[in-house]
Amino acid sequence: MERNEKFMAVSEAEKIRKAEEIYYRRNGIKPENKEKKRKSFLGGFIKNLFMIAIIIGIIYVYENKAYFTSDTFKNDVKAVLNTEINLKEFWNKITNNNQKQKENEEVQTVLKEEVKETPQPVKEESTSTYIMPLNGILTSNFGYRTSDNPNVEGNHTGIDIAGNVGDKIVASSYGKVVEVSGEGGYGNHLKIANGEMITLYAHCNQIYVDEGDVVTQGQEIAEVGLTGNTTGPHLHFEIRKNDEYLNPLEYVEQN
């Protein structure tokens, strides 16, 4: 009973292997490795195919020996070689064109990014005429002047217009605010640039604009004050061209 159970526990593959061993022993046959036989068969098959191909090629060349020994064959070979060369040249052209196109696209992308990142300059209108920045009495002209006050300069670089503290000062011309400061004898003052021309407004009480702002002609920009070197509330107004002081009355439109 135990012997039968051991026999039943053996796998089918093991049973087949043992049966083949018994068969080989009884018939005097030497067993061979199946995998080795399979590889040997495939190798022999491929070798035979290769030999058959060689034989067919030899027969074909022999039957067409007139062609293979003629100038026509030589010309055909040259044509094939030239075709291969032309194909290589064509491929090189394609790859070079693709590379150039890629480089051009990269350049265009960089240029577009630079245009986006580059700040656009503010358009500056050329205002040929200026308006009075304050409605008031002209108390001091441009040029040399005499005064008993040591704080008053002999060479006056602008004009003084009297007013009350808090009176509105307007921009004499269109432009961009390039300076807002409270330092020096000008007190609270600002400068507006219009091309190569600059207007200056000094001794202000309060300034309404900031540096970098673009203002229009007639826009309120500040208030009359007493800041800096001054003997009373007034606006000191200058017009400059390339750091040269000009007489504002020669440029201001007279009403």
Residue 29 lies in a domain: no
Same structural domain for residues 174 and 214?
yes
The 10s digit of each residue's pLDDT in 215-240 is 999 999 999 999 999 889 999 999 99
Indicate if the pLDDT at residue 15 is higher than 60. yes
Q: Domain for residue 184, yes or no?
A: yes
DSSP assignments along the chain, one per residue: -HHHHHHHHS-HHHHHHHHHHHHHHHHTPPP--HHHHHHHHHHHHHHHHHHHHHHHHHHHHHHTHHHHTSHHHHHHHHHHHHHHHHHHHHHHHHHHHHHHHHHHHHHHHHHHHHHHHSPPPPP------B--SS-S-EEE-SEE---S-TTS-SEE-SEEEE--TT-EEE-SS-EEEEEEE--STT-EEEEEEETTEEEEEEEEEEE---TT-EE-TT-EEEEEB--SS-SSSEEEEEEEETTEEE-GGGTBPP-
Structure-token pair, residue 41: 């068969």
The whole domain housing 112 covers: 67-117
Do residues 113 and 161 share a domain? no
- 154 and 108 inside one domain: no
Say whether both 180 and 246 belong to one domain: yes
Q: What is the pLDDT of residues 139-171, one digit of tens each?
A: 989 988 666 555 556 688 999 999 999 999 999
Same-domain pairing of 246 and 144? yes
In a domain, 125, yes or no: no
- Assigned domain for 142 exists: yes
pLDDT score of 154? 67
Whether 214 maps to a domain, the answer reads yes
User: Residue 19: inside a domain, yes or no?
Assistant: no
Answer yes or no: do 218 and 187 share one domain: yes
Do 189 and 144 fall into the same domain? yes
Closest CA to 182 of 213, 209, 205, 157: 205
Whether residues 156 and 237 share a domain: the answer is yes
